[in-house]
Amino acid sequence: MRLTVRRTRANNHLGCPGVRTTAILCAVTATFVAATAATADAPELPRGNFGGGALVAAPKDIFGAGNAVIGLRLLDERRLEIEATLRAKCTGGDITAAMKVAEDGTFRARGRATQEPNPNEKVTTTYRLSGAFTGPSTVAGTVSATFRRFANGRTQRCRTGDVAFAARRPSGRIGKRGAARGARYYGITAQRGVGPRRPIVLRVSGDGKRISRALFGEQVKCSDGTRSIGIEAPSTNIAIGRNGRVRDREKYTIDNGATRTYVEDRFSAVVGRAGAKGTFSLSDRTVDKATGNVIQTCRSDKVKWKAAP
């Protein structure tokens, strides 16, 4: 079972229990290292969406320190957009950045973002990010962040440390069914953030028989007309069948005090040596305990995803 804070989709990575709400990005300041003007001899970079992240924490620590999902979109004239969710021990936060990619395929950014996930809570994220396009469909880089969380009159500080991440522009090809031992898969979903497609990252167990952990960015539509975002994780250690197929379904209830939330989520995959693809769907219903009235429903419909090692 996932951490119950997941049900506040806008805030799950910030550790905020309760009914789903929409996080407010209060301020973002960033400094970007711009590339020099491209020349005719500069390598041509592939435009499109790349996705992935990092799974550093132990599988049972779902939203653990060092875990991250990162989406990138490369546009014409070497313009790059990045959206990421990062985790540390005390909290987590979202960052966005836009920059120019250098002629050698590298990029760098640093900045600060402030979010108010709840009326009495503020999270400030200070980050540094660097990376490179290492091939037509591959990205590698490092990100670090320091978080300052103020809530209920108390301030907490924590850091991610230097986290190595990877991203892919997956083709959707599966190849021979079954996963290599300890493989990582990086990719994108059919959902889009402000710019890039939302990312997904999966880690295969050392024996190649299970998806030990998966993490992906997601968005749901709620009955009050809002769209809420967050990060999501299916069950830990999902078995990979002989045909490479994976299926996971979770149903559970969250006690929020005066309300109760009923959750039903599904995740599926077909895993191969050349890639993986599948779907997920997320839904929940929050009910007032005293009256039994439905306060809010949220759902994603069925969303496709694809990834590559």
Domain that holds residue 160: 4-37+46-308
State pLDDT tens for residues 202-219: 999 999 999 999 999 999
pLDDT > 90 fraction of the chain, expressed in percent and rounded: 74
State pLDDT tens for residues 52-101: 999 988 877 877 889 999 999 999 999 999 999 999 999 999 999 999 99
What is the per-residue burial (b if ≥16 Cβ within 10 Å, else e) of 141-158?
bebbbbbbbebeeeeeeb
Between CA 17 and CA 253 the distance in angstroms is 13
Q: How confident is the model at residue 18 (pLDDT cuts 50, 70, 90)?
A: very low
CB-neighbour burial class of residue 209 (10 A; exposed 0-12, middle 13-18, buried 19+):
middle
Structure tokens at 58: 């132990």
Domain tally, the chain: 1
Residue at token pair 């306060």 = 295
- H or E stretch covering 147: strand 138-151
Between CA 130 and CA 33 the distance in angstroms is 10
Query: How many other CB atoms sit within 10 Å of the CB of residue 281?
Result: 16
Lowest-confidence pick of 29-33, 98-102, 277-281, 291-295: 29-33
Structure tokens at 262: 């009923």
Between CA 28 and CA 95 the distance in angstroms is 8
* Chain centre to alpha carbon of residue 103: 28
CA-wise closest residue to 201 among 83, 271, 306, 93: 306
| pLDDT for 194 | 84
Structure tokens at 70: 């990162």
Dihedral angle, C-alpha 261, 6, 182, 73, nearest 10 °: 130
Q: Which residues pair with 204 in a beta bridge?
A: 211
